[in-house]
Amino acid sequence: MKRNDLLKKSINVAVAAGISATTAAAVAQADWQQIGVMGDLNNDGKANVADLVLMTEHINNKTKLTNNNAYFIDYAYVGLNGRGFKGEKYFCTADINEDNIVDVFDLIMLKKYVADLWSEPVWKWYDEEIPQETTVTTTEFATSTETTTTTTTTVSATEPVDPNAPIYPPISDITRNVPSQGEADIVIFYVDFPDCKYKYDLSAEQVDEIAFGGENTYSTSYPFDSISAFYNRSSNGISQIKGKTFRYTAKENISSYDNDKKKLLKECYKAFEDSADFRKFDGDGNGVIDATIITVPEESDDDAWWACAGPSGLDAFLVDGMKVGHLITGDCEITPDNNIDFVRNYSHEIGHGMGLPDYYRYVEHGDVDFEGLHGLAGIELMDDALSDFGAVSKLHLGWYKNSQIQVYDYSKGMQTYTLSSSQTENSNCLIIPCGELDSKYKSEYFVIEYNTNDRNNAYMRDVYYNEGSGIRVYHVNAEIYDNGYWVSYKYESNDSNSDGSGKRFIRITDDVEGYDNYYHTGDIIDSSVSGFCWYDENGLESVDPNVRITIGELTENGYSVTVENT
């Protein structure tokens, strides 16, 4: 399973933003107040089809956006989804992914908002006064061929964000092809060769049932009953994996394709171009087929066909006018009584398509430990590919609702939280930030969850006899690497020190092989616990977080967890 080397697509349709001035009518107390809605281009307080029309015309250079459509605000405290962060920022309702460009990627996100009937409100914190109305005067610095315009917009204060709405997926900022929220559409080519055949020749319909079928808790392969069922449980319905299988026998022997996957990819699509409409395999509407899986018999050369994922690299190759996005290949053969390897491996690789890195380490040589997370608590689909996604993955994929994320506030001293099981619809997590928490979680922090060994973790329990469950603590460093061509997490699976001790996207505390690093009632977690420290300037976990966590009682609602400054 190779690192996800997705390449960032760039479409230069820019809107130049100016600075705005704000005045307010005062009332009695300070509080957050809503000042805008992402995707609301006509200032009617919601993102809808009318806004889609405006953005589409702008991108197609038919009618350019003005300040009447996309206003800009200058402020010191701002929040998306009700979660605040500090720092000056300019805001544009049309620039939904906040990359300072209004382009097709914003249009894709706007389509998602309109389809799901929700979008992020934008908030401002008023230190001394709350306005009943906020008057925003904005100036757009036009291009050399346009004139400068000035407009004034009044936005009425409204109720806080819907706590039951899913969060904006932080992973949207990572270069990727597969959407993590809503529908993702997958093409599967179940391929054999003149000299390499399947032991059990399944039909396309049979493969479809294993890949995209509904939940079957009686399956001997449960929780890997199907890719769709696994993702539906893990995301609590936020992510829906759909698709179709095409059964194909290649024209040449398998060795002709061992080192040329693109050749086989193009051959497969051309074989079905007259009988299938591949335009429907585009869940996010960006003109790119979300992902293509080419799976081959297990008798193939494992070095050439072990499960891996990455960009197709075929930008000039179009299928029904669509580009081919993520390519996943593997030799995960299905047998009549076992589809576990097929489902678990391709579920892992689809995670790459959504933007997640491997959580195990990459090393070039030597007898070293590849695993990223150890102990009974060190199970994660992006590490061992045998268990569920953990809280960090779910956070970045946008699989939590607003109400399911709790953040420790240092200014309030001792606070007690309840953590529900990770394998329920009420699953939640607790974040302890290192300093100010970035609004998109692209910073350093601890993530705490109550993990149990049922549902998507049942395979570890039943096959590997991992009876562990309890509180586990992740140390996250979600810095971003952006070279202007593609965007990823800065450290991903390789840490900043070659000896394995440096900064890494994800770690777990008490990271010891074979050790029960779950925490239970009465356990205390502080800087004396291995891995419960912030990174220092050398990338080592040595900085005391000055926080103590005490694990309380386990009730039917979950574990109580108390956090306090030390």
Q: What is the pLDDT of residue 117?
A: 65
Q: 493 vs 37, 309, 346, 505, 539, CA distance in Å?
A: 36, 15, 19, 7, 14
Q: What is the pLDDT of residue 111?
A: 81
Please check whether residue 348 is in contact with residue 382, taking contact to mean a CB–CB distance below 8 angstroms.
Answer: yes
Q: What is the pLDDT of residue 93?
A: 80
Give me 181's structure tokens.
Answer: 């929220």
Q: Which residues of the chain have pLDDT under 70?
A: 1-35, 61-62, 66-91, 98-100, 116-119, 121-161, 363-370
Q: What is the pLDDT of residue 397?
A: 97
Please check whether residue 226 is in contact with residue 220, taking contact to mean a CB–CB distance below 8 angstroms.
Answer: no
Q: Can you tell me the distance from the alpha carbon of 503 to that of 506, in angstroms, rounded to the nearest whole number?
A: 9
What's the CATH class of domain 179-353?
alpha beta
Per-state percent for the chain, helix, strand, coil, to nearest 5: 20, 30, 50
**Cβ neighbours of residue 412 closer than 8 Å, sequence gap 6 or more:** none
Residue 562 β-bridge partners: 416, 550
Q: Can you tell me the distance from the alpha carbon of 295 to that of 328, in angstroms, rounded to the nearest whole number?
A: 8
The domain locations on the chain are 20-159, 179-353, 391-565
What digits encode the pLDDT tens for the residues 369-403? Answer: 667 899 999 999 999 899 999 999 999 999 999 99
What are the two backbone dihedrals, phi and then psi, of residue 479, each rounded to the nearest 5 degrees?
Answer: -60, 155
Q: Which residue has the tokens 């389509």?
A: 111
DSSP readout, 281-319?
A: --TT-SSEEEEEEEE--TTS-HHHHSSEEEE---TT-EE
**Cβ neighbours of residue 130 closer than 8 Å, sequence gap 6 or more:** 26, 27, 28, 29, 30, 31, 33, 157
What digits encode the pLDDT tens for the residues 301-341? Answer: 989 999 999 988 888 899 999 999 999 999 999 988 789 99
CA neighbours within 13 Å on the CB side: how many for 199?
A: 11
